[in-house]
Amino acid sequence: MDDESIITRARWARRGAFGILTIIALVAAVGLPLYVFPADPPAPAADLIYVIGPPTATRIADAESLRDQGIADEVLVSVPSSGPDSADELAYCWRAYVTCRTPEPFTTRGEAAMLQAYATDGDAVIVLTYTPHVLRTRFIFDACADADVTVIPVDERLNLSRWIYNYAYQSAAFAKAWVLGCADPPAGALP
């Protein structure tokens, strides 16, 4: 190989690397207002506070804080059917003002559908979820729930690898939610 072809290949490799880094930077910049800094409205008075899964300590603490502020008296918590966060195992579920249920399917769409049993058209509901999930949650609950829903982000610390994962996961899941809407998936399809 002659020197000129080596130099040409090196230039193309640098341009390719620069192009890839530019695309990554653009995707990261576009995702900032969507996944990292979504709108964070003040919590209005509500009929229900809804903690969607998983019921982390931070989400439960935020629900308690809102309840203590008099935002709402009742709390609904989406829990898995088994394990340490299930209704049988999670001590928070034993409080008189807390209802813990497992949506079917245990997805954001399933959680929106489950809300229909606890809130009707005109009821105000505050939904708590972690920050990267807020945009997709708003989209799904706006489309699939009759209640007046306000989605509020919960500040759960994520490391860089979790942020990268969430950028990819939430983007793909949002595309799926946009395509499927509130319809049940075909038999045998992934939830």
Report field, pTM of the whole predicted structure over 0.85? no
Beta strand pairing call for 148-154 and 75-78: unpaired
In whole angstroms, give the CA distance from residue 48 to residue 87.
18
The tens digit of pLDDT for each residue in 7-56 reads 777 778 787 777 777 776 666 666 666 676 777 888 889 999 999 989 99
HSE, CB side, 13 Å, CA atoms: give it for residue 47: 12
DSSP string, 3-23: HHHHHHHHHHHHHHHHHHHHH
Long-range contacts of 174-182 (CB under 8 A, 24+ apart): 174/135, 174/136, 174/139, 177/108, 177/109, 177/136, 177/139, 177/140, 178/139, 180/109, 181/143, 181/144, 182/109, 182/112, 182/113, 182/140, 182/143, 182/144
HSE, CB side, 13 Å, CA atoms: give it for residue 58: 12
Q: What is the per-residue pLDDT for 180?
A: 87
The residue type found at 82 is S
Average pLDDT of the chain, as a whole number: 87
In whole angstroms, give the CA distance from residue 150 to residue 152.
6
Residue 152 has pLDDT above 90, yes or no: yes
The tens digit of pLDDT for each residue in 103-119 reads 999 999 999 999 999 99
Which residue matches tokens 């989406």? 78
Show the domains of the chain with their CATH numbers. Answer: 48-180 (3.40.50)
In whole angstroms, give the CA distance from residue 114 to residue 106.
10
Instruction: Of 144, 129, 127, give the one whose Cα is nearest residue 180.
Output: 144
Residue 85 has pLDDT above 50, yes or no: yes
